[in-house]
Amino acid sequence: MEQAVVITGAAGGIGQTLCQLFKQQGYVVIASDRIEAEGIACDTFVPADLQKLCQVTEYREQVIQTIRGHLPGEELHALINNAAVQIVKSTDDLTVEDWHTTLDVNLVAPFLLTQMLLPELERASGSVVNVASIHAQLTKPGFVCYATSKAALVGLTKSMAIDLGPRIRVNAICPAAVETPMLLAGFEGQQQNLQDLADYHPIKRLAHPMEIAEAAGFLISGKSSFMTGEVLNICGGITARLHDPA
């Protein structure tokens, strides 16, 4: 039977690369995002607003039923929770709405999708990969909401891996800066700042989206069959670096 993978946040730079890689590897790719982007390599696109999915039971059930209707059977080999929102504000400026949006999309939606697709994942002895962030461990001013949500996602990964035991595997990836179109657009006209960001990583460059996708590919493959509750830092050495003032 064909193996299916569900990928959220499929319209973004990492998401599109995830779809491309798994499509090339012969998976049935079910892609999801709020709005469909041109050129997503998938068999099916399922539009989904993840905050609404968290808040409206009928909508959540509708999205899940749509996903199930596109599975090539009753099994799901992998769920990749890649979608995220990043609200950059200081502690003084964050609102309750900012927190609800961030936690719904970055934390609650991955839990609910895993919970509701658990029967299909279990039938396939499948895997969940949560795309967290280096901000789960190391952060900077303005990222209070985002860093908190990603740290919680790492905690969710470990907790669900233990709770679900041998039924499915649950792992996470924590990338540092990735060379996506969104990141590059944010540095338009600021080439030196972009270079400084790259140089901040000991490897002296940004990650390529395909490097993140290939890590996810490893985690859902049989090559990682003894791995669950693990967190892979794909960070160019940044977590090992000591930053002294001089």
For 192-216, write each residue's pLDDT tens digit. Answer: 999 999 999 999 999 999 999 999 9
Query: Could you tell me the pLDDT band of residue 183, with boundaries at 50, 70 and 90?
Result: confident
Q: Using alpha carbons only, what angle is made at residue 126 by residues 162 and 214, rounded to the nearest 5 degrees? A: 100
- Flag whether 137 is in a domain: yes
Q: What percent of the chain has a predicted confidence (pLDDT) above 90?
A: 91
Q: What is the mean pLDDT of residues 223-241?
A: 96
Confidence at residue 213, expressed as pLDDT on a 0 to 100 scale? 98
Q: What is the pTM of this model?
A: 0.96
- Flag whether 160 is in a domain: yes
Q: Is the dihedral of CA 152, 157, 162, 163 positive or negative?
A: positive
Both tokens assigned to 237: 């050495």
Q: What is the mean pLDDT of residues 235-240?
A: 94
Range of the domain at 71: 4-240
Both tokens assigned to 140: 């900077």
Q: Which letter does DSSP use for residue 133 in this model?
A: -
- Flag whether 123 is in a domain: yes
**Side chain identity at 200, as an amino acid letter?**
Y
Mark whether 59 is an active-site residue.
Answer: no
pLDDT digits (tens, 9 = 90+) for 8-64: 999 999 999 999 999 999 999 999 999 988 899 999 999 999 999 999 999 999 999
Give Cα 149 to chain centroid, integer Å: 12
By CB neighbour count within 10 A (0-12 exposed, 13-18 middle, 19+ buried), where does 240 fall? Answer: exposed
* Residues β-bridged to residue 7: 31, 80
Q: Is a pLDDT exceeding 70 seen at residue 151?
A: yes
- Flag whether 90 is in a domain: yes
- The number of distinct structural domains making up the chain is 1
Q: Are 178 and 197 in contact (CB under 8 A)?
A: no
- Flag whether 246 is in a domain: no
Query: Could you tell me the pLDDT band of residue 246, with boundaries at 50, 70 and 90?
Result: low
- Flag whether 245 is in a domain: no
- Flag whether 168 is in a domain: yes
Confidence at residue 182, expressed as pLDDT on a 0 to 100 scale? 83
- Flag whether 57 is in a domain: yes
| CATH code of the domain covering residue 132 | 3.40.50.720
